[in-house]
Every structure is written in structure tokens, then in C-alpha cells.
Amino acid sequence: MSLKVIALISGGKDSLYTPLHCLANGHTVVALANLHPASQEEEDIDSFMYQTVGHGVIPLYEEALGIPLYRAEIQAGSAIETSLVYGAQNSADETEALVPLLKTIMETHHADAVCTGAILSTYQRTRIESVAARLGLVSLSWLWMYPFLLPGNRTETALLEDMASVSCDARIIKVASGGLDSSFLWGNVSSSDGRLRSRIAKAMARFVDVEDGDVRGAVLGEGGEYETLAVDGPSVLWKKRIEVDTEVVSGEAGVSYLRFTRPRCLPKESGEPFELRRPPLLEDRFERLLQEHQEQILSESVKNQSSQSSQSSQSKQSKQSISNLTAAGTSAAEQMASIATTLDETLAASNRTTDDIVFATLLLRSMADFASVNDVYVSLFRKPNPPARVTVACRSLPAGVDVMASFVLDSCPREKRDGLHVQSRSYWAPANIGPYSQAISVPLNSTSTSKLVYVAGQIPLEPASMNLPVTQGTWMQDFNLQAVLALQHLWRIGAAMHVDWWTGGVAFLTGENVATKAWIASRIWEGIHNSTENIEKEEEDDVDAWDLKYGRAERHYTSKAPALPNFDIVESSSPAIPPFFAVQVDELPRNSSIEWQSAGLSGGQLRLNQETKPYGRCTHTLVDGVIRFSAIEVDWGHLEAALHQLSQSQSQSQSHQATIYTAQQVSWPGQIVPCKAVWGRGGRRLAAGILLSLNPGSC
């Protein structure tokens, strides 16, 4: 669907490059919006949120782009809420000046989206998302994580080179870093020759540990190292170019900026046909995974098709689960409202609140109830970064139950908790516009530096359009693509949260040919782990066609990206692959055929071992020498024996989370997912799959 977009512009390179991506994705930019200092005489003010240097040039963009411009004042030094993630709205905060400005534009132009140039700034992105959500606008952040998504991740200046390839002209107008001095002022960071970009990269490399850190943000000016003014660009957006006279102003602590006189718009010639690079749907690693397994899956699948409510709550500890909450009611929404009441009462009894919840599982009888249940669910959480969540539909819920909810809690201080809640459309991963985060991480205990990362269920939406990918292939080719794409989402979120290792992967599956889908998903899970050792060499040998076209195949100061999975921290006497379950349910969100869900471990040393029990195969993951996580593949005819033995062992070693996936009716002191069928590694049909997370202690 084409959107009518309001482009938030500061005059900087990113805010004027983002509208080009709006056009490339089929949307229309209907208005420009800008906030400026209250005093028009002041050249530059310290603002946490907005670029203000050179604000006197901003009115020219209306003429230069031929798009209506709307402006409003901000108050200098009015950043009241300065936390990284924007929480409670304060009318005095500079962010809130956007609200009346955007409302005016919405009424005039019937706009339904807003775009911003955030690249790596969580501070800026979360504030725009907060305002957009309250106004009902779709937030677009095409450049979010963009430097990491380009093929090969070849250079830290790749984004600037992409700007150069479409004839952008963005001049440095302020420097505020020891690595940059006034000699950089008015240099074009998107010039075709690239000499200035090389100078910036070299200067920044002296201040960033290239091996342990990442120089990209500094080279792009994301930390305020420099600010820019866009003065020209491709004629698809720019109808005229901007010209100014400049004067250098020296400030304190090595800060220098330009003062402008005689700003004006001048005619320009039409440029070459517009060609804008956008990150591919699948990055190199996952594209290889897709291609390597496509032929193998097609050739081997035929022979594989033939081989085929009560509530429990753990005692009060730092990590706790509340499982299988149900309630009476004539509708799913009514039942969810009663569950919310019961949850509040249960938490209050142990001096907890919903702020302690880090992960939630919602089981619905029908996905048609998703919206009404979600309307109730959202009322549970009032702070930024709500819990990660997975939602599936299981028609085998107990009679009369339309919704069943389970929750994982962690009472560690919130300052020790990290969250990722990206609500903007981008090329990175699907936006989470609902009341759940992509991921939440919490410490394993008070003494360990290791963290447990809960990741929300990931379905194969194209991040830019938020639609399922459409292909012209067979159902098997379609599923293969969707399975790889959803797994890439899981991987990107894990990488953003510094995950080193997955405790296990669960692939929820729907539709027909599910046994074959389970086998495909298992092969993909194994394939992505087996491919890691060859990634570094393959990326060194790979040259992207776009870079060849524009003569940018050389490397500069590339940083060392963390590997996922990180085999350096793993000791294993058997093939080092995390456990895998495929679970057949009735429906998934957006009619998807697959949803990946997992939890990750960040930091620490891991030791893996496997053992064979009379009831099936067990895989154990030990963190820093202590067993934390176990995955059990229960064979047919052995479920009762497995549950009996586990109940005895659980009395000696309490788990904070225990989940069983099975089609059989069971009594279980943990979360029950009453699915249609379960498969293990290799697509082996199981009676049940069990995941145990042993309580690692108090925070």
C-alpha cells in the first residue's frame, strides 16, 4: 500500500536521503517538517534530538524540492526525558514539539506516515516512534542498521558511497570531534571521488578500536562527530540546488561550524535516471543458505514425506514462570480481561508487577481473536520495551478456552535489563508495532556477566513492506524462502542483542505437508550453524556487483563483527548445534506458514553434551560450568515415563521455565503447548518436545 509520507528534515544528509527511499518503495512525500530554535538569530543550540546548525537554510527546501514545508519552534535545552528509550511523555520535552506540527500536516495532507533519518540512534528512533504511535502514523526508518545490511558489509563508508552514487551533495557544516578539524568544513561527504570519506575514516580510526568496536557510526557522524547540510541531489527529488556563502565560526573544545549568508536556490539540470540501491531481502549468508539447500530439499523431500488447564506458578525466585492461565468468558477478549485480573492478583501476592514480565506466550483458539485479545493485552504494560512474545493458534486448547497465557518473570533491577523494540519500517527486520519487543535480555544472576535473551516469534515478513514475500515457485520453494527469511530476522535480532548461542530453536508450522516442512526447517537450522566456519573466507572472496559498478571494491577500516553462533565460547564433544523442535499448530499471525522462536545466551563459556535416556535424547547446555538449559526429545510410547522421571528430578533442581510441546493430554508443572504434532532434529517425529531452563539464582 502506498503511503503519504511526512519527511522530518534537519537539513542533514540522512534526513534528505531517506525521502529517496520512500520514493523507491512506492510511497509519496507530501510534506516536509522541521523544528527550529526559538531564536532565529541563534546559529546552533545544544539539542539532544535535533540538528540546529544551519537552520536558516531550511526554508529553501520547499523551493528546492517543490514540497510544502511546515516548521515549528523548539526550546533550547529542553530535553527533559534523556534516557536512551523514550518513556513517559513530558510536555516540556523537546520531542513533544513534534506532536502539534505533525497534527497540522496530517489534517492538511491526509498523511499516514512519517520518515526519519535514524541510522544507529536508538535515542532519536524511539522518540519518533512514540510520537508516530500516538498519532496513528506509520514510522519509516529506511536507514536503520543500513550500514550493516549491505552485501559483504564492505566498508564503513558504504552508506555515504550509496549517497554519492545517486549524486547527493551533502556538505560538512560542523565538526565536534578531536579527529576532525575546521579543514573538513564544507567538504562533500557524498562526493564521487571519495577522498574526503577516506580522510574521515582515517581520522576516526584513531579514536575507535577497530577490532573491538565499530567505526561505522563515527564515520557516518552518528555520535555528533560532524553535521552536514544537503544542498543537492537527484532530480527525482531535487528540482533546484541550494547555494550559500560561508564563514567559519570557532567554538569551545575544538568545535567549529559554518555561518551562512545569502542562501539561495538556483536552477539545475536534470540528472541521469534514478537508481537507488536497497539492501537485498536476504543477506549473503542467508542467500547462500537458501540456494545450498534448495536443490537438496527438492531432491530428498519425497522420501522424507513417508517417514513420519490448570495454572502453575514456581515459588518466588528472581526468575519465575506463571503458566497456563485461563479464565471463563463468552469471548476471547473477555477471557483475556479476566486473565489480566488474575495475573495482577497473582503478582501482587508475591510483591511483583507486570513490569517484571520479560516473555509471554499467547495461545489462541483462533487467530481471528488476535486483535481483540491484543487490545486487552496492551493494557498490561505501561513502560517502554514491553516483554518479547510469541502468539500461535491451537484449536486443541481445553474445551471452552479461547485464550491461554503464560509468562516468564525476572525481578532483576530494570537498569540491568536491555530491550529492543523497533517500531519503524526499515530494511533490517519486521517492525514491532504491537505491545511486545523484538527482544529482552536479563542477567543470569547477580555475579555472572552472562545474559539470557528472550526473542519474540519471527514470521517471514519483508521488513520494508511488512508483507509476506510472494514468489512464483512451488509451495516447497515458497516455504524454503519464508523459513530462511524468518530465520534471518531471528539472527539479526540476536546479533543486535549480542547473542553468542541459541538455547534451542522452535519452528512453529502450519498448513499442509507439515512433516516435510519440519524436515526442511531442521535442515535449515543445521545449515546455518554449519555454515559459520566458512563465512569469513567467503565474504573476503565475494565482491558485490554494485560496488564493482561504482568502482568501490576496495576495503577500508572494516570492523570485526561478532559471530552468531560464536563457536569460540563453546566446548562440545558432539556436533555443536543447538536443539531443534518443529511444532505443528493451527494458525500463525498473518497466515504465515512458519514462525521461529528462541532464546539466546550472551557472554560466558558454554559446554554442550548429549545423553540418551530410555525415553529419548537429551541435549544440555551448561553456562560457566552450571547446567542451565535442557532440551528433551521424547520418543513415542515413552512420554509417561519421561514425565515421571522429570518430576522426580525437578523436585531436586527447580526450573524457572519448563515448556512441553505435545499432542497428548498431560499433567505438567509448567507451560503446556497443546499442538498437533512435534518433530525433533532431522525431522524425526516425537511424542513430545520438552525445554527446561534451570533457575540460575538470584540477582
Instruction: Classify residue 274: in a domain, yes or no.
Output: no
| Whether 195 and 292 share a structural domain | no
| Whether 589 and 689 share a structural domain | yes
Distance CA 507, CA 501 (A): 17
Between helix 514-530 and helix 475-496 the angle, nearest 10°, is 40
Instruction: Classify residue 215: in a domain, yes or no.
Output: yes
Q: Which residue among 241, 267, 293 closes a domain?
A: 267
**What 3 state SS string does 183-245 have?**
HHCCCECCCCCCHHHHHHHHHHHCCCCCCCCCCHHHHCCCCCCEEEEEEECCCCCCCEEEEEE
CATH of the domain at 668: 3.30.1330.40
| Whether 221 and 289 share a structural domain | no
Distance CA 187, CA 190 (A): 9
Grid cell for residue 538: 567467503
Instruction: Classify residue 275: in a domain, yes or no.
Output: no
Q: Which residue among 267, 297, 313 closes a domain?
A: 267
DSSP 568-582: GGEEESS-----EEE
Torsion of CA 606, 609, 610, 613, to 10 degrees: -110
Per-residue pLDDT, 87: 64
Grid cell for residue 223: 555520535
**How distant is the alpha carbon of residue 220 from its chain centre?**
21
Residue in the structure block whose three cell numbers are 513530558: 90
| Whether 52 and 127 share a structural domain | yes
C-alpha R_g of the chain: 27
Q: Which of 595, 656, 670 is nearest to 628 (CA)?
A: 656
| Whether 235 and 300 share a structural domain | no
Grid cell for residue 436: 511486545
Q: What share of the chain is helix, strand, coil (3-state, %, to 5)?
A: 30, 25, 40
Grid cell for residue 367: 487467530
The values of phi and psi at residue 390, to 5°, are -125, 140
DSSP 439-505: EEEEESSSS---EEEEEEEE---BTTTTB----SS-HHHHHHHHHHHHHHHHHHHHHHTT--EEEEE
Distance CA 549, CA 557 (A): 21
Residue in the structure block whose three cell numbers are 535545552: 77
| Whether 36 and 161 share a structural domain | yes
Residue 398 preceded by cis peptide, ω within 30: no
| Whether 140 and 36 share a structural domain | yes
Instruction: Classify residue 699: in a domain, yes or no.
Output: no
Neighbours of 317 (CB within 10 A): 18
Instruction: Classify residue 442: in a domain, yes or no.
Output: yes
Distances (CA, A) of 587 to 395, 591, 593: 9, 7, 8
The answer to whether 20 touches 236, Cβ cutoff 8 Å, is yes
> Which residues, in sequence order, are CB contacts of 191 under 8 Å at separation 6+?
164, 169, 197
Distance CA 424, CA 138 (A): 7
The answer to whether 194 touches 183, Cβ cutoff 8 Å, is no
DSSP 376-433: HHGGG--SSSPPEEEEEE-TTSPTT-SEEEEEEEE-S-GGG-EEE---SB-SSS----
Per-residue pLDDT, 595: 98
Neighbours of 540 (CB within 10 A): 10
Instruction: Classify residue 320: in a domain, yes or no.
Output: yes
Torsion of CA 81, 436, 695, 341, to 10 degrees: 100
| Whether 238 and 341 share a structural domain | no
> Which residues, in sequence order, are CB contacts of 656 under 8 Å at separation 6+?
314, 317, 319, 320, 321, 408, 693, 694, 695
Distances (CA, A) of 497 to 45, 411, 426, 429: 33, 20, 18, 13
Between helix 284-305 and helix 514-530 the angle, nearest 10°, is 140
- Residue 637's domain comprises 284-531+564-694
Sign, Cα dihedral of 302, 304, 305, 306: positive
The answer to whether 654 touches 314, Cβ cutoff 8 Å, is yes
Give long-range contacts, CB 8 A cutoff, 24+ apart: 261-266.
263/56, 263/57, 263/60, 264/60, 265/60, 265/63, 265/64, 265/240, 265/241, 266/240, 266/241, 266/242
Neighbours of 277 (CB within 10 A): 19
Per-residue pLDDT, 698: 52
Per-residue pLDDT, 407: 96
Distance CA 664, CA 674 (A): 7
Distance CA 60, CA 71 (A): 12
| Chain length of the chain | 699
Q: State the pairing for strand pair 256-267/169-175.
A: antiparallel
| Whether 154 and 220 share a structural domain | yes
The values of phi and psi at residue 226, to 5°, are -155, 160
Distance CA 125, CA 420 (A): 12
Per-residue pLDDT, 352: 93
| Whether 13 and 86 share a structural domain | yes
Per-residue pLDDT, 297: 64
CATH of the domain at 36: 3.40.50.620
Instruction: Classify residue 537: in a domain, yes or no.
Output: no
Domain count, the chain: 2
Give long-range contacts, CB 8 A cutoff, 24+ apart: 56-60.
56/260, 56/263, 57/11, 57/229, 57/242, 57/244, 57/260, 57/263, 58/9, 58/11, 58/34, 60/242, 60/263, 60/264, 60/265
| Whether 261 and 292 share a structural domain | no
DSSP 152-169: GG--TTHHHHHHHHTT-E
The values of phi and psi at residue 392, to 5°, are -140, 165
Residue 52 is given by DSSP the state -
| Whether 57 and 92 share a structural domain | yes
Distances (CA, A) of 484 to 238, 284, 291, 430, 490: 38, 12, 10, 14, 10
Q: Which residue among 236, 267, 298 closes a domain?
A: 267
Residue in the structure block whose three cell numbers are 547462500: 288
Q: Which of 688, 693, 695 is nearest to 667 (CA)?
A: 688
Residues of the chain with pLDDT under 70: 39-53, 75-84, 86-92, 152-154, 178, 207-216, 295-317, 532-562, 650-655, 695-699
Per-residue pLDDT, 653: 53
Grid cell for residue 477: 520453494
Instruction: Classify residue 559: in a domain, yes or no.
Output: no
Residue in the structure block whose three cell numbers are 504511535: 133
